[in-house]
Amino acid sequence: MNSKITLKAAVVNSGISMSELAQHFGVTRQAIWYRIKNYKKMRSKDLAAYCKIIDFDINGLDLEERKM
């Protein structure tokens, strides 16, 4: 079984701060927080950009929607 993690966990593991991500993308930390929280709704090219910055393979992200 392959273990997949959230984007938030990948960012934390990378050691890159929300402030650094915000500076890179030219947005506020709050905008970064919101995007990371809702990463499953993010466009694939934007998600790939986040993964590139944090040096994380996009295939390691949990991208499945939760079933209620």
List, run by run, the mean pLDDT of 10-residue segments along the chain (68 residues).
Answer: 87 96 96 94 94 95 76
Structure confidence at residue 67 (pLDDT): 60
Structure confidence at residue 22 (pLDDT): 96
**Which amino acid is residue 62, in one-letter code?**
D
| Tokens of residue 31, six digits | 């905008």
Spatial separation of the C-alpha atoms in residues 27 and 47, rounded to whole Å: 15
Structure confidence at residue 62 (pLDDT): 94
The sign of the dihedral angle between the CA atoms of 38, 6, 23, 41 is negative
Structure confidence at residue 64 (pLDDT): 85
